[in-house]
Structure 1
């Protein structure tokens, strides 16, 4: 064995073992699966042992691989941690936020000007994606997650639990049957969530036997798309209250029937514990909590129908995880 082993080959082996497949490791490292396989063969040739076996079920460690992997995993973890620390030092005034597109566009972005005015020295970067950020590996300071609250290895601060509201365009309701009770929604096209489950659950929660009609209609995997379809008059959408807030205020949408229903999930601010001690992250956390407190007050919602139910501020320890 040579004194120096190829670092790329060591990482290819480590990522393949951690992720369980050549394809996943290739995506992580930005190369092809063939290149990953070649690097692992190179490492095995240099070491004179077989480290991985491959089958249709993925990759499995040999006895030699099991001995090698833990130390390499710790080593690469320490390298990544050191690089993150350096990045944190060089980007002390940069705040990287990861959140879902619908929450970013409907709740966070309209309020962010206030934070920027209070903290012009902080360079805010919002990553809007449906994929969860890995807070141990990705250059993310804070994630705003919609889930059940159990996020191992990181701190989660409960924000609020939204309710689901049935909303529609005023034009659609002006030309259709009267909407007085939850069952009246069945006289309109229903815009569905990706699982086609929310309408059935909402109707059942209000004592209505939903039947097959509750699961019919076009489905969308984002509240943002649901609301755009509702604004264009395609049907009634059942969406999270805070996502519809601006459209309701502007009159693009109205509450079809004022029967809000508690969502199973809550919103959490999630970060590594050491990040929460950094001044720019702490400033954002304090600002977020202030926004939530203001949003839960009567002044925010006034007497607008439906909006008065929009938020329930969460207490620590309450909530469920994704």
Structure 2
């Protein structure tokens, strides 16, 4: 036959025999029935024998085909099994984490080197995206999300609740309507985080149902830019309290509405229940809990 095996033709023969029709084999391989037929003809020409015959009842193996099929089927089965084993091995040593870009850049990524030092055998893959991930279907082990902790069908654990303050310039506040409740902020232009999520969640956490205004306004991917936009009178920004300290001290910023922080509005670690049993996931949870405990003790 020669050194180069006609793998595509052999697979076309194997799938046609296994499934009993050219059409079913074509659907399985993602090609047309004509392409399957052509591959089988090429294989027969190369071997110099007829492997399959067709009738109104489907395809039947010839004597030569019956002799070839068991070995070909066994070979492809072993290849598939080997690939699945390799995929499982690669996945076992990889930990895929999905999180929001702002949290990845400001908190997670700067600390990941300590996790890698503790667990050099675990390869961490961070997917920084504002889009929600489907943990039931996508190959993501852990999601770190900012929200209220409501994730049906999933396990969630609160991580940290950064205190967010709505701040703006004194001039903006003096020229606009009074702010007595968190929902009153909707009467002003809102300055958005990169994910356009914080205002909506913050209002919900305070017991107010936001409308479309909660997602309108210019967005910024860094809190420094949010603070500068707020100080220049462009709107109200929702920022972490420690980042606003300098502006509040020098008077370029004021707190728009001062309310206690709603504890449910936090960063959560979210995963499928069965994923929590994986050693890599457990190791990450133990590490991140340690990081948070260290942060609290030095605060």
Q: What is the TM-score when the length of structure 2 is the normalising length?
A: 0.51
- Equivalent residue for 1:95? 95
Whether 1:276 and 2:273 are equivalent positions in the alignment is: no
Offset at residue 144 of structure 1 (A): 1.5
Q: Is the 8 A contact 2:149 2:156 kept in 1?
A: no
Q: Distance in 1 between matches of 2:198 and 2:245?
A: 28
Structure 1 stretches of 4+ moved >6 Å:
184-188, 198-205, 249-255
Q: 1:9 aligns with which of 6, 22, 27?
A: 27
Q: Is the 8 A contact 2:220 2:226 kept in 1?
A: no
- Equivalent residue for 1:231? 228
Whether 1:116 and 2:116 are equivalent positions in the alignment is: yes
Q: Distance in 2 between matches of 1:114 and 1:186?
A: 42
Q: Is the 8 A contact 1:164 1:238 kept in 2?
A: yes
Offset at residue 123 of structure 1 (A): 2.4
Q: Is the 8 A contact 1:98 1:142 kept in 2?
A: yes
Offset at residue 224 of structure 1 (A): 3.7
Q: Is the 8 A contact 1:190 1:236 kept in 2?
A: yes
- Equivalent residue for 2:150? 149
Offset at residue 175 of structure 1 (A): 9.6
Offset at residue 285 of structure 1 (A): 0.6
Q: Does the residue aligned with 1:132 lie in a helix, a strand or coil?
A: coil
Q: Distance in 2 between matches of 1:228 and 1:216?
A: 19
Offset at residue 232 of structure 1 (A): 3.6
5+ residue gaps in structure 2?
1-15, 37-56, 58-79
5+ residue gaps in structure 1?
13-34, 43-47, 49-78, 206-214, 301-322
Larger radius of gyration, structure 1 or 2?
2
Q: Is the 8 A contact 1:159 1:292 kept in 2?
A: yes
Offset at residue 289 of structure 1 (A): 1.6
Q: Distance in 1 between matches of 2:143 and 2:271?
A: 6
CA RMSD of aligned residues (A): 5.0
After superposition, give the CA deviation of every residue in 1:207-227 in whole Å (9 maximum; x if it has no partner).
xxxxxxxx599525x774676
